[in-house]
Amino acid sequence: MEPITNKVKLEKKGLALYFSLPILSWALYDAANTIFSSNINTIFFPLYLQEIVGSDEVQKQIASTFISYANALASFLLVIFTPLFGVMMDRTGKKKKYIVILTLLTVIGTIAMGIFSFIPFTQMMFGIPMSLILVILFFVLSKFTYHSSLVFYDTMISDLGTKEQIPLISGFGVAIGYFGTLIGLSVYLFMDDGAYNQSFIPTGILFLLLSLPLFIFIKDTPKENVPKQSVLSGYREILETFKQMKNYRKIFIFMLAYFFLNDALATTIAMMSVYANAVIGISTGKFIILYLVSTIASIIGSFIFGYITKSIGAYRAVRYVGILLVIALIIATIAWNEGLFWVAGSLFGVALGSMWVTTRTYIVEITPEEKRGQFFGLFAFSGKVSSILGPLLYGTITFAFADLGNTASRMALGSLIILTIIGLVIHARVKEEW
């Protein structure tokens, strides 16, 4: 079957807009990668590590450190490679090609996590079972390729509709994406109690299946007569863009604000399940339900903020989402019972989905079209640098104050409130550039 044209006709509105084949295929990929994000990054891999490493309150803090540092290592790799991705898009016009490659690597890595988690190794390294080291390394690989694919995927939105349609398409994509969470968490029904590694292989398979519509129906529009240049020339282009910072001052200020906002988001996503279990005492079953509630809040919030963004503009919408994130983190940090944590989880769900809707739209608004891929790469670069520092900060606090038990985790989560407020203060400076 011939791939169809990506661009949606201007007259398509309402359901006709959302269910045109290019947009639906694009949105289903959001569902696919959200399965990885929820199952591996947020829930079952952290719980697997906690089950293997954490035997008491102090060991649970050490498990949190393991998780944080594994996330930081994956983000370090992203910092090295992400700047090149935007340059590759701007030069070649290809997005789907790289999404396919990176998705397949993520699927392979996720399935490998499952395989090695079941293979008993007698060898030890630094006092850690070799099988556990291999699972962690394949997690780092999978997270790296997963996030790398999102650089190309997020930029693809500008090919799907008009400037007026993009906020609605973005909101629809995020909302459909969170239905992927519901699909992904269904594997919990077939897992043995405490056997969190049983989720890894099914997650990889589900990721692949929901990616197929994008593989089949989205069409790449490569640029012709692309001059051959060395890979290092990509870094030179990035460096040149930074040298021209005064010409793109507004963009770089927002990039710095996004650095801190994403720092809080990425770290909370990675540590949510172990925090809920170790600090609040929420069982895995209850956390799954809480996560589903948070996901429903994300779906609703994504749709609503798509329209809010269209109505009041992406700049103000980003600010409102940041304030909501601060409130959610404050409640989660001081929560002394499950009820308060449920409130925090629901608010965080709205903030998480809405942040992606609003920032994606704002980046399209403020970047020149001829450099859009490069700036998407730079924004991803900003996000990945922050994704190193946030988990490192969280993990270092839990390690340094492990003897304090659960208080160490509350201190670590509280540090994210400060980072979010810094992001909001910097974001306020963007307005001065208009």
Question: Who's near 137: CB < 8 A, 6+ residues apart?
Answer: none
pLDDT (0 to 100) of residue 324: 94
pLDDT (0 to 100) of residue 245: 67
The per-type count for the chain, helices as H runs and strands as E runs, is 15, 2
Cα separation values, 25 from 68, 85, 220, 240, 358, Å: 33, 22, 14, 36, 21
Domain, as residue range, for 245: 19-223+232-433
Question: Is 9 contained in some domain?
Answer: no
Cα separation values, 6 from 9, 24, 218, 431, Å: 9, 11, 6, 33
Question: Is 400 contained in some domain?
Answer: yes
pLDDT in tens, the chain (434 residues): 444 455 544 445 556 666 778 888 998 999 999 899 889 988 899 888 878 875 556 666 676 777 888 888 888 888 788 767 766 776 777 889 999 999 999 999 999 999 999 887 667 665 677 888 899 999 999 999 998 898 888 888 877 777 777 777 877 877 787 788 889 988 988 898 889 999 999 999 999 999 999 999 888 776 666 666 665 666 776 677 677 667 778 888 888 888 899 888 888 887 888 888 878 888 888 888 888 888 788 778 877 888 888 888 888 899 999 999 999 999 999 998 889 999 999 999 889 878 878 887 888 888 877 777 667 767 766 776 777 777 888 888 888 888 887 888 899 899 999 999 999 999 988 864 54
Half-sphere exposure at residue 253, Cβ-oriented, CA atoms within 13 angstroms:
18
CB 104, CB 167: distance < 8 Å: no
pLDDT (0 to 100) of residue 220: 77
Number of domains in the chain: 1
CA distance 399 to 231: 39
Report the CATH number at residue 280: 1.20.1250.20
Question: Is 415 contained in some domain?
Answer: yes
Question: Is 266 contained in some domain?
Answer: yes
Question: Is 290 contained in some domain?
Answer: yes
Question: Is 87 contained in some domain?
Answer: yes
pLDDT (0 to 100) of residue 393: 85
- How much is the pTM? 0.75
Question: Is 10 contained in some domain?
Answer: no
As a whole number of angstroms, the longest Cα–Cα distance in the chain is 64
Question: Is 2 contained in some domain?
Answer: no
CA distance 62 to 415: 18
CA distance 336 to 213: 45
